Chain A
Amino acid sequence: MNRFILPAGVFVLLVAVLAVGIQRAPNKTVIPSALIGKPAPQYLLPVIASSSPLQAVQFDSRSLAGRWHVVNVWGTWCPECRVEHPVLLDMAREAALPIIGLDWKDDDMAARRWLESLGDPYDVVVADREGRTAIDFGVYGAPETFLIDDRGVVVHKHVGAMTPAVWQRDFLARLPARAATTGGSP
């Protein structure tokens, strides 16, 4: 009897370690962002669409300094982006904070058609035609949505389609009370 105690103990330990591992990684396709707590990458990209009447040719991320905002990575080639689009429109109606669209490796005309037919939730949409800014953001699949604070630090990243629950829990809940009311269009 005594000689079973050690193997059984090792087995139980192994099961415990594996169980904790599985519990803590409910979705192994979601890889935590390396950018959390670090400054968000800067970018200067051509504008595809803008809510501002004075539409600039290029958009500089530095113009967002001092403001909480959301960067949503999408593309017309991305089926999940179509799924999350109505949620983005609801977020835009709420107007809690500016939403920047990073159109990733896409065709500008296709993107404009998409925004015309489905609605435009973005304060500004910029074209990352070669995918360089996406790499700076550590993007590995669209859609991805980043929350960036007033110091320009990445606070959170959501991989996959945005849902109202995720928006409430992982984005709005992270805002300081006053930031939610000072948002607007860039």
Chain B
Amino acid sequence: MSLRIVAVLLIGAWLAIASHTAGAIDPVEMTDPALQTRYRALTHELRCMQCQNQSIADSPVGLAGDLRREVRELLEAGKTDQQVRDYMRDRYGDFILFRPRFAANTLWLWAAPVVLLLLGLYAAWRVVRKRGALVATDSFDDEATRS
């Protein structure tokens, strides 16, 4: 029981520290709240190229900081969200976008889940149909084996 309390306290402490450091990475507050909201959203959908599995909003490395500065300056210069994304993609490729666009070279990325889902549905349908066929012949088989 006491072990559980210790565990809860440890997790609580870790969460407190984690959320604190996450906030400390990017202390930027833009004066315009609308810009700030867009800045938040954009920095969360751009990949940190050095750490790859973090967004530039979550990463403490130098390049992520530089890219956040670019985003901030582009927004302040009146660019649209799409223009900011295009600016980053022109330099770093589709890989920098956590939500890649729909294009010829990203087609598989978008189509694969749908294709896999359809394959799964087809497999499930086949199994159900086979089972149904088995049930239909079940009593007959039962009697045949019994006799």
What residue of chain B has the Cβ atom nearest to residue A137's Cβ? B91
B94 proximity list for chain A (CB < 8 A): 34
Bound-complex Cα distance A128 to B61 (A): 17
From B49, B66, B70, B119, A31 is in contact (CB under 8 Å) with B49
* Interface residues of A, dominant DSSP: loop
Grouping DSSP codes into helix (H, G, I), strand (E, B) and loop, the B interface class, with mixed when no group exceeds half, is helix
8 Å CB contacts to A: which residues of B64-116?
A: 66-67, 70, 89-95
Q: Which of B91, B95, B130 contacts A135 (CB 8 A)?
A: B91
Q: Does B13 contact A (CB under 8 A)?
A: no
User: Assuming the A-B contacts A135-B70, A140-B49, are A32 and B93 also in contact, with contact meaning beta carbons closer than 8 angstroms in the complex?
Assistant: yes
In the complex, which residues of chain B have a beta carbon less than 8 angstroms from the beta carbon of A134? 66
Contacts A32-B93, A34-B89, A135-B91; A140 near B63 (Cβ below 8 A): yes
Any chain B CB within 8 A of the CB of A107? no
Count of chain A residues with a beta carbon within 8 Å of a chain B beta carbon: 20
Report chain B residues within 8 Å CB of A132.
66, 70
Cβ proximity bits B52-69 to A, threshold 8 Å, 1 near / 0 not: 000000000011001100
Interface size classification for chain B = 10 to 19
Q: Which of A6, A7, A132, A140 has the most CB of B within 10 A?
A: A140
Of B63, B67, B119, which is in contact with the most chain A CB atoms at under 10 Å from its CB? B63
The answer to whether A34 touches B62 (Cβ under 8 A) is no
In Å, the complex CA distance between A34 and B86 comes to 12
Beyond A10-B119, A31-B95, A141-B50, whether A131 also contacts B90 by CB under 8 A is no
Known: A31-B93, A136-B91, A138-B93. 4 other contacts (CB 8 A): A105-B66, A131-B63, A132-B66, A141-B63
A: residues with CB less than 8 A from B are 3, 6-7, 10, 31-35, 105, 130-132, 134-138, 140-141
